Every structure is written in structure tokens, then in C-alpha cells.
Chain A
Amino acid sequence: MKGNNEQDVVLLKGNEAIAKAAYRYGYDAFFGYPITPQSEVLETLAIDKPWETTGMVVLQAESEVASINMVYAAGASGKCSMTSSSSPGVALMQEGISFMAGCGIPGLIVSVGRGGPGLGTIQPGQADYNQAVYGGGNGDYHCIVLAPASVQEMADFMGLAKELMFKWRAVVIILSDGAIGQMMEKVVLPPYQPRRTDEEIRQQCPWATNGLGLPGRKSNIMTSLEMDAPAMEQLNLAMERKYAQIQQEEVRCECIETDDADYVVVAYGISARIAQSAVQRLRKEGVKVGMLRPITLWPFPEQQLQQLGAQCKAILTVEASQGQMVRDVRMAVEGRCPVHFYGRSGGMIPSPTEVYDKLRAIIQ
């Protein structure tokens, strides 16, 4: 092979990349339940048997409900753990996600979206933006939401997720879709990172409920329960301060040819890949079109969109849904320019031609 180290470049499905990156980044555990289109995550782990190499725990749980509560407890004890699921399965996890957020428990949920609502379809969908960004669980909370647009990013974001979940004691969601999960691309997998030792966990997570260091410290209790309303409000305010800081520090997006753009497409995940084809075609035709791809859906790239809203003539948001992220785009743009929407849903995905035609219609 030319140019690359043959050992490291592999052809993988997005779901397989998630699994292989998990044990390479030193995740301690995976708990999950089969559901299309993400079952390859657990299947790949079962084939690769990381428990024999890195010591990573892999367990097929009895349900998504059990899976997320396993992640909850693992994170409470300071371990780096994850689950993966798809739309209806992630819906079942919302209580656990709210509990994790309420306790400040680190953990990762990989959500490989399909068309909904209900059982919907198993074909790719992006109609779970609201589920991930606004949460189906109770209470005021946010998860950090990462949106990979390639198989390489599926692998890379596993490392980013690990870093962010402990940095902020936050729930991280990798919001993907059936297309990115099922497609194969070239991937460079990360080098092996050792799992943290007990001593490292003690240093990094002095709050963790694992007994380490007892007696000699206060016992650690992981709970989201606080019967005293004023005290509970203080906890909420502390969470808000943390969220404000995350919004300051963790916004990520990719701007493609936006510097001189008269028109900007906003899209994430598979829709960004599709829209980029249309953008490139228009660029070749001499139209000044660019694209902003949010990488973090929460925190959302509001400032970048404000600037683009002031600069360009119109924005087009493209999603594989009936329009969920578009509301955040409109809120960020605050009427500085028109914000249009194009979407397909129910397992249908916008085609490059459809996006091109929509852009052409906006330009005229």
C-alpha cells in the first residue's frame, strides 16, 4: 500500500470502528442490547474479545434500560463505559441519561439513528436530534452531543468522548445514523491506550463510588435525589454554570468555503456528506456556496452561525428529518438572513441532486 502503514489503515463499517476504537482508547466497559442498525458494535466486540487483551468488559444486557443503568453505575465508580443503540432503544434510555446528568456521571451513548417515530424503519434517520440535544429525560440538563460525518470520525470521536466525559463529568452522546453506521470507509485506528489503573481512577475521580481510599475519606454517594428544594435549585444552578462553561469551551464545527459564501448550507452527519456534493457542484458552477457542519450539536455553534447569518444572503439547513436542527439554526441566526430547510424522513435521505435543486431554487 502506498503512503500508509498497512497495519493501521483498515476498511470498516462505522459501527465496527466504534467497537474497535472503544478498546483501543482504553474504555473499561460496553453494555448494550441488539438493535438494527447498530448491532455490529456489540457483534464486533464479541468477535474481538477485548476482555482477553485490554480487560474491557463487554456484556449483552437484558434491555436498553438495563444497559444505560449499567453505564450509570460503571461511571459512578469512575470507570469509562459506554453503550450503543438506535432510536427506540435510545428512547428507553432517557431516564438513565437524566440520572447520569443529575449525578454528574461520565458515560457515552452511541446513538445510530433510524427513521421514526415508534418502531419506524431501520433505514437511516436524523430525527433524533431533539432526543439527543434536548433530551427525553426529565429535568434541566444537557448532554454533549458529537456528530460524526465519516467512519474515521466514528473512531476519532470515541477518544474525544472519553476526554470530554471526564473533563466535565458529563454524558456524551455520539449521534450518528444508519448510513454512517453501516457504510465502510478507510479508517486509521488509534494506537492502544492502556485502561486507567485503580490509582489513576482515584486521582481522576475522587468522587467515585468504588470504596478506594476508605476509611480516611468521606464515603462517596452517587445520587440525584435532594429532598430540599432550595438545595436542589443550587445543584441546578451549579449544573447551569458548568453548561455555560462547556458552551464557551467545547463548540466544534467545520466551515467549508464559507469565507466568501453568499449561501451557506448547514448540515451534520450523513446529510453533511450529501450536501457537500451539492455545494461542490455549485462552486464549480461559480456560485459562492459554503457549508457549516456542526460537529458538536450541543454546544451548538451559535456564534459562527450568527456571523454567517450577517454575511450571507440565505442559509439552507439539510437534515434527514422533518426539521429539528433547523430551529437551532434559526435561533442562532436571529433573522439576520432567511433560513430555509430541506429534509427527507422516515428512513429516506436527501439526495445530492435534491439538495442541489433546492439550493438553485433559493439562489434564483
Chain B
Amino acid sequence: MPELTINLKNMTEEIIISGFGGQGVLSMGKIIAYAGIMEDKQVSWMPAYGPEQRGGTANVTVIISDDTICSPILNEFDTAIVLNQPSLDRFEPLVKPGGTIIYDSYGIITPPRRADVTVYCINAMEEAAKMSNAKVFNMLLLGGLLKVRPIATVDDVVRGLRKALPERHHNLIPMNEEAVRRGMDIIRKMN
């Protein structure tokens, strides 16, 4: 049991997603939060905001919980999704023992070394290129996350997208769903 999580009735998942601005980090966090809402869970989404949004590193803390969420700002995480080396360097030490690190090998030169966490790799950048659609990159990652940390179902994600996206973009949902399912297939355990 992670030390800092509180009153665990059922589950609390504290996630950090970190990468470059423009990689869809913040919107991926939002979709996770929406999926959590579909499961009637408490959610919080706390971005690092400001100039960081504009091309620098971007990160967002997402918490999904059956309980009231106290602090939306964390200094330890259950799961870190890291998309570049600076993000890995910063957040690898902050994952709780027994936690999870997911990385995309495209942006990582030195993979995670910790033995007390489960490490997964997902070549989402490469897969998005194969699919000739850079925009599904974050949905591939999301699929990978849901495969190894089943905090919500693909159905929740689809319903969440329906709620989050304006109706004119609903035609994009099947493509995103496919990417989520593809992400579930391509994630690999590394340790």
C-alpha cells in the first residue's frame, strides 16, 4: 500500500504525465479524468501552467479516486508516464515503491533503472507514425496505461470523449478508440 494515499476504500491512482508541450499531455490527462467521471469517481487534473504550455516541458497531475481528493498537488505518484528524458529524470525518483513507470523509447536515451517499480515501454511515437496520424499518439499512450493500470475501461474513454469533445468532432471518436486498443497491444513490460 503506498504510504501517502488516503482512506483507500477501493482505489486511488495518482498519475503524472510529462513530456513536451504539444504532445497532447494535458488533453490525455483530461481524457483520463473524464473516463474517471464515467466511473463516478472523484477526479482532479492539475497542470503545470504558463509558458511551459508553449513548447517547453508540460506536465499534468491526474488523480482518480473513490474517495474525496485532498491535495491535487503531489510529490509522489503511483504512475508516471514520461515522454522525454528530462521528464524521466525528474519524475523517476518520485514514483512510489511498487508504482509504475511508462515511457516512450522515442524520447528516452537512458531508460528507468529502478527495480522497485514496474517499468513499461510503449513505442507510441513510432506506432503513430506507422498509422500516419501523429494526433493519436496520446491515445496510444492512454491505451497502454489502461492495459497496465485498469483504472477505467475503453468504454469509459469513449463515453468520456463523447462528453469532452464538441459534437462536430465526434466523428473522430472511432479512430481514437482504435488507437486506445492498439496502445493496449503494443505496451511491453521491461523488468
Q: Is A85 an interface residue (CB 8 A)?
A: no
CB distance from A52 to the nearest CB of B (A): 18
- Using Cβ atoms and an 8 Å threshold, which residues of chain A touch B50? 36-37, 122-123
Q: Is B131 an interface residue (CB 8 A)?
A: no
Q: Which residues of B contact A123 (CB under 8 A)?
A: 50
Neighbouring B residues of A9 by C-beta, 8 Å: 37
Task: Decide if B72 is an interface residue (CB 8 Å cutoff).
Answer: yes
A contact residues vs B (CB 8 Å cutoff):
1-4, 6, 9, 11, 36-37, 122-123, 178-179, 182-186, 270, 273-274, 276-277, 280-281, 284, 349, 351-354
If A184-B45, A185-B45 touch, whether A179 touches B73 (CB-CB below 8 Å) is yes
Chain A residue with the shortest CB-CB distance to B44: A185
Top 7 nearest A-B pairs (CB, nearest first) are: A184-B45, A2-B40, A276-B70, A277-B70, A277-B71, A351-B75, A274-B71
Q: Which of A11, A178, A270, A353 contacts B30 (CB 8 A)?
A: A11
Interchain residue pairs with CB less than 8 A apart (5): A179-B46, A186-B37, A273-B71, A349-B73, A352-B70
B46 touches A2 (CB 8 A): no
Quote the shortest CB–CB distance from B176 to chain A (angstroms).
Answer: 17
Point out the residue from B42, B43, B70 that lies within 8 Å of A274, measured CB to CB. B70
Name the A residues within 8 Å of B44 (CB-CB): 183-185
Of A1, A122, A184, chain B has the most CB atoms within 10 Å of the CB of A184
Chain B residues with CB under 8 Å of A353's CB are 4, 75-76
Q: Is B187 an interface residue (CB 8 A)?
A: no
| A277 and B6 contact, CB distance less than 8 A | yes
Which residues of B are at the interface with A, using a C-beta cutoff of 8 A?
3-4, 6-7, 30, 33-34, 37-40, 42-47, 49-50, 69-76, 159, 163-164
Tell me, in angstroms, the Cα distance from A34 to B79 when the chains sit together: 35
Which residues of chain B come closer than 8 Å to A281, judged between CB atoms?
3-4, 6
Do A182 and B49 touch across chains, with their CB atoms under 8 A apart? Answer: yes
Residue in contact with A11 in the complex, picked from B6, B46, B76, B164, CB distance below 8 Å: B164
* Shortest Cβ gap from A88 to chain B (Å): 15
List, in ascending order, chain B residues with CB within 8 A of A179's CB. 46, 72-73
In the bound complex, how far is the Cα of B73 from the Cα of A162, in angstroms? 30
Q: Are the C-beta atoms of A352 and B34 separated by less than 8 Å?
A: no
Q: Return chain A residues, CB-CB under 8 Å to B40.
A: 1-4
A37 to B46, CA, bound (A): 13
Query: Which residues of chain A have C-beta atoms less than 8 A from B43's C-beta?
Result: 11, 184-186
**Which residues of the partner chain B approach A351 to less than 8 Å between Cβ atoms?**
73-75
**Whole-angstrom distance between the alpha carbons of A270 and B39 in the complex?**
26
Shortest Cβ gap from A172 to chain B (Å): 25
Q: Is the beta-carbon distance between B37 and A1 smaller than 8 angstroms?
A: yes
Q: Are B74 and A352 in contact (CB under 8 A)?
A: yes
A103-B68 Cα distance, complex, nearest whole Å: 42
Whole-angstrom distance from the CB of B190 to the nearest CB of chain A? 28
Closest to A180 in B: B72
* Min distance, Cβ B114 to any Cβ of chain A, angstroms: 19
CA distance A296 to B171 in the complex (A): 47
